Amino acid sequence: MAVKLGVNIDHVATVREARKTVEPEPIAAAVLAELGGADGITIHLRADRRHIKDRDLRLLRQVVKTKLNLEMAATEGMIKIALEVKPDQVTLVPEKPNEVTTE
């Protein structure tokens, strides 16, 4: 069986945050990724909210029809958000303030 593809859309939000504006819209990117055949959508909600925001997570939970994978640090605040929003999967990742990554 072919390996599945989870598309991480963090950097769509990175472009948006470059101007602190409302475009490009990560939710639209997720829909288009699914139309292109993505088996899942991955986002990393970071403590500093440098790209993906809480509203993105909540909207994606309603919109993503494949599988929503939330990457997050194992902090109390993030655990509470995950238990409330209920992504299909949480991937626990270490988080350092200066790392440059989407993962």
Partner 1 sequence: MEGNLEHIANTVERLQGGGITVSIFVDPDPAQVKAAKEAGSDSIEIHTGLYAEAKTEKDQRAEYKKIVEAAQLAQNLGLRVNAGHGLNYKNVKPIASIPGIEELNIGHSIVARAVLVGMERAVKEMKELLK
Q: Indicate which single residue of 50, 62, 65, 89 sits in contact with partner 1 (rule: CB under 8 A).
A: 89
Which is nearer to partner 1, 2 or 22 (by Cβ)?
A: 2
Q: How many residues bind partner 1 (CB under 8 A)?
A: 39
Contact criterion met (CB below 8 Å) for 71 and 42:
yes
The residue whose two tokens read 């598309």 is 7
**Does residue 18 touch partner 1 according to CB under 8 A?**
no
91-102: b or e for each residue (b if 16 or more CB lie within 10 Å)?
eeeebeeeeeee
Structure tokens at 29: 């990117």
Q: Site map for partner 1, 28-67, x if CB under 8 A?
A: -x--xx-xxxxxx-x-------------------------
**Does residue 83 touch partner 1 according to CB under 8 A?**
yes
Residue 24, preceding peptide bond in cis (omega within 30° of 0): yes
Which is nearer to partner 1, 17 or 39 (by Cβ)?
A: 39
Question: Which residue in 47, 94, 92 sits closest to 70, CA to CA?
Answer: 92
Instruction: Report the interface residues with partner 1, using CB under 8 A.
Output: 2-12, 29, 32-33, 35-40, 42, 69, 71, 74, 79, 82-83, 86-94, 101-103
